[in-house]
């Protein structure tokens, strides 16, 4: 998942209940209203204006006084207009006055649980990418939910919020209880306690087995050591089928106390495996690097800097810069950036890493339902490696922020891309913190590459394939450039050629 930012919705509570309606004369704005127009009978022009906000009791006298003025006004009207018309006009004014007076009487105040629900509703109203809200009236849903959904305690409120989000039919927009929200933040900060798997929904494969697909396995983590690879399918976790399990429910089940065990049923190719993994604290060091010396005709050696980027956490761009500077000190004359099995992370880090390699050009277009709403571009201020030849390696485990980076480097002709089509997640989420410490991940936009390619469910298409036996371990990378007899051999000259 790409996370744009963390936001707190608590500061905006004063705006949660504000709304407006349009009438023929303009826009009427009230604080905390619910407008309910009810025709009383056919050909009647009377209506009731029902307000859910409360007023101070002493103001009721004002409405009573208004009724007396209406009755006095009736006598004056009789002198100039027919009796029937006077009766009709006075009736309308009285109905409006009495309705307002009744509805302005003190009612039960909004509870803390109501306010939390409305805070979540307003966050979606403002931030969600689809302003049609999956074909429903979002304001109507609020009114119906406040009347019908039980919110007597915090768990009922959480259930009401989850039910509300489910109506969007978006698997990436979801509610996070306080502990889950805290866990998500810790994951982007560099460490998790679990087995080291990034998982997602199978995309684009007809007849795929039911379950959750492994996008990537963190090098050195328990799952990686057990041989779980990108493309494997998790059929069950601790005996519970994943057939209808959400990815975030699955992620929670995979995490747990350090030293505890989790049992997985894995489908790897045609083989089904049962394995027990012990959870560990997984350090998400985002970058490893190597220097490869390759013999070249007419020169002593060609020195290639290999950089493997495994995740986009808050340390990623700094770590990439450090790797480039270290390799530069060893006089490299070309770079390989390996994004295979990198399932994404923080969106801003993806942008910053693109700026390292680009001196100019569009990085990504951010789009909503109305079209392009924002453009991220490189201006050269953060560029440190814009001239050396660059190759980028991708596979079906390359997702989210990795796809943004690969697409930017490809479309700007800064790099040659090798591998297989990437995962195809063209949506971006922001994470919003609610006032009680819970949160929501909300799909706030889709994106297009600099060539205006929408990669959702398609992926970034590489320029060239990699040899099928090309290794994923950085220690084995150099041998595939050196040994022409190897099945994974890749000619150095071809590596940087389109």
Active site residues: 400, 425
**How far is residue 208's CA from residue 202's CA, in Å, rounded to a whole number?**
7
Neighbours of 342 (CB within 10 A): 32
How far apart are alpha carbons 455 and 483 in whole angstroms? Answer: 36
Residue 41 has phi, psi (to 5 degrees) of -165, 170
- Contact, 279 vs 193, CB < 8 A? yes
Taken as a whole, the chain contains a residue count of 498
Around 7, how many Cα atoms within 13 Å sit in the side-chain half-sphere? 20
Instruction: Report the first-to-last Cα separation within the chain, whole angstroms.
Output: 31
CB 71 within 8 A of CB 21: no
276 burial level (CB within 10 Å; 0-12, 13-18, 19+): exposed
C-alpha 318/C-alpha 321 separation (Å) is 5
- CA-nearest of 55, 60, 46, 139 to 96 is 46
Report strand pairing: 3-8 vs 19-23: unpaired
Find out whether 177 and 438 touch, Cβ atoms under 8 Å: yes
Nearest CA among 479, 198, 209 for reference residue 342: 198
* Alpha helical stretches, state H, 226-331: 247-254, 316-328
Bridge partners of residue 361, in order along the sequence:
378
How far CA 431 is from CA of 47, 121, 155, 185, 438, in Å, comes to 42, 14, 21, 9, 10
CA–CA separation, 44 and 41 (whole Å): 5
The CA angle 152-158-163, to the nearest 5 degrees, is 110
DSSP 209: P
- Taking alpha carbons only, the member of 287, 293, 288 closest to residue 317 is 287
Do the bridges between strand 416-419 and strand 390-394 make them parallel or antiparallel, or are there none, so unpaired?
parallel
- Asked if residue 129 lies in contact with residue 368, where contact means CB atoms within 8 angstroms, the answer is yes
Euclidean distance between CA atoms 45 and 11, whole angstroms: 41
């Amino acid at each position: 998942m790409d996370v744009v930012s963390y936001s707190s919705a608590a500061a905006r509570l004063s705006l949660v209940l504000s709304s407006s309606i349009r009438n023929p004369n303009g826009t009427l704005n009230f604080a905390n209203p619910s407008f309910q127009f009810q025709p009383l009978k056919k050909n009647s022009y009377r209506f009731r204006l029902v307000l859910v906000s409360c007023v101070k009791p002493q103001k009721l006298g004002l409405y009573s006084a208004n009724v007396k003025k209406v009755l006095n006004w009736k006598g004056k009207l009789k002198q100039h207009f027919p009796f029937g018309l006077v009766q009709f006009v006075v009736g309308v004014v009285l109905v409006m006055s009495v309705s307002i007076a009744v509805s302005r009487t003190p009612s039960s105040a909004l509870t803390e649980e109501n306010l939390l629900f409305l805070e979540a509703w307003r966050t979606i109203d403002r931030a969600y990418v689809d302003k049609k809200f999956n074909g429903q009236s979002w304001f109507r849903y609020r009114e119906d939910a406040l009347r019908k959904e039980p919110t007597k305690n915090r768990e009922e409120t959480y259930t009401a919020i989850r039910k509300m989000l489910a109506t969007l039919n978006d698997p990436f927009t979801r509610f996070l209880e306080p502990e889950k929200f805290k866990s998500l933040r810790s994951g982007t900060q560099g460490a998790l306690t679990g087995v080291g798997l990034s998982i997602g929904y199978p995309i684009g494969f007809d007849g795929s087995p039911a379950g959750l697909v492994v996008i990537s396995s963190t090098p050195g983590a328990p799952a990686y050591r057990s041989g779980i690879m990108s493309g494997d399918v998790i059929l069950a976790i601790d005996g519970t089928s994943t057939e209808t399990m959400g990815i975030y429910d699955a992620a929670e089940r995979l995490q747990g106390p350090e030293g505890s065990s989790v049992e997985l049923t894995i489908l790897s190719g045609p083989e089904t495996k049962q394995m027990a993994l012990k959870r560990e604290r997984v350090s998400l060091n985002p970058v490893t690097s190597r220097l490869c010396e390759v013999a070249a005709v007419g020169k002593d050696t060609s020195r290639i800097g290999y950089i493997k980027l495994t995740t986009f956490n808050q340390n990623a761009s700094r770590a990439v810069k450090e790797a480039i500077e270290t390799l530069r000190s060893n006089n490299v004359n070309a770079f390989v950036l390996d994004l295979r099995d990198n399932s994404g992370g923080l969106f801003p880090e993806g942008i910053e890493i693109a700026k390292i390699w680009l001196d100019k050009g569009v990085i990504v277009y951010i789009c909503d339902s109305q079209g392009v709403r924002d453009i991220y571009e490189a201006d050269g201020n953060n560029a440190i490696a814009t001239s050396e030849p660059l190759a980028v390696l991708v596979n079906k485990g390359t997702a989210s922020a990795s796809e943004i980076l690969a697409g930017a480097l490809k479309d700007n002709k800064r790099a040659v891309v090798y591998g297989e089509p990437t995962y195809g997640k063209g949506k971006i989420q922001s994470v919003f913190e609610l006032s009680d410490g819970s949160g929501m991940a909300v799909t706030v936009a889709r994106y297009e590459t600099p060539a205006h390619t929408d990669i959702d469910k398609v992926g970034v298409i590489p320029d060239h394939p990699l040899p099928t036996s090309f290794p994923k371990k950085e220690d084995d990378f150099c041998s595939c450039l050196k040994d022409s007899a190897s099945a994974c051999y890749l000619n150095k000259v071809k590596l940087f050629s389109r």
